[in-house]
Structure formats: structure tokens, C-alpha cells
Amino acid sequence: MELTDRTRKRLARETVAWFTTVNEDNRPITLPVWFLWDGDDEILIYSLYNAARLENIESNPNVSFHLDGDKHGGDIVALEGTATIDRGHLPATGVPEYLDRYRGYMNAYGWTPDWFADRYSVAVKVKIDKAREW
């Protein structure tokens, strides 16, 4: 999947995205997530160990991933992809780039990296299949 320079810059810079899964009633469920883009076509998200999104992904791996716009309807990035649950992936404490990206947020919430990694212990990988921007 070839991403435009604008989308690449946004994925590298932004820290919060809207992640949508589909539940058993075929209803989209969208929640904000922290993420780490691999510089190519994959996004890493750490999920709560008991989040409904995990069941949603197991039954329907098709997901969408959106970055906020410019508050005026522009600079929108919408990605579609296929999600997989990777229970064997390194915890967040084993991914220095992730910790560097979110350490300030964790500190602001009073969380330690170990606390975060224990609670948000399930890695979700999103393979980007399609990108749109406007």
C-alpha cells in the first residue's frame, strides 16, 4: 500500500486516532486509540485485555482508522484495513518507540509504563489496505 507524503507525515506525527471495529450486530464501534505506525503499511495498537474490540476483530477483522481533520472539514485521513490480534507481541514496555511517544501522556494520567503494559496488554496490528484523504 503506497501512502501519500501527507498521510505518512500525519501517521508519524499524530498521537490519537479513531479506530472502528464492527460488533456482532454489525454496528460500527469507534473509540480513540494510541498507536504506532511502522513507517510502511502496519499500525500497532495496544488494547485493554478485556475490550469488546477484541471480540469484534475476531469475528470481523475489517476495520477503519481515522485521523482528526483540521476542524474545518479538511486534512482528513481515513484508512481501511485488516486487524489481527497478536497475543505474542512484545508488551508496550518492550517497544521503546511506543513508550517514547506516549510517556508524557502516561505521566499526565499518573500511569507507569508497567501499569499501562499490564492493563493494555493485547497487541492489535492493522494492515493498511486502503487510504483516502481529502
Mind listing the pLDDT tens digit for each residue in 39-81? 999 999 999 999 999 999 999 999 999 999 878 777 899 999 9
Query: pLDDT higher for 70 or 9?
Result: 9
Higher pLDDT, 87 or 75: 87
CA 118 to the chain's CA centroid = 18
Domain boundaries, the chain: 5-133
Number of residues that this document lists for the chain: 134
What pLDDT sits at residue 5?
A: 95
Provide the percentage of residues in the chain whose pLDDT is more than 90: 91
Q: Which CATH architecture has domain 5-133?
A: Roll (2.30)
And the C-alpha cell for 80? 481501511
Across residues 34-38, what is the average pLDDT? 98
Question: Are residues 83 and 57 in contact, defined by beta-carbon separation less than 8 angstroms?
Answer: yes
Pairwise CA distance, residues 72 & 95, whole Å: 35
Q: Strand 36-37's sheet: what is its strand order?
A: 28-33, 17-22, 62-67, 77-86, 122-133, 42-47, 36-37
pLDDT attached to residue 53: 96
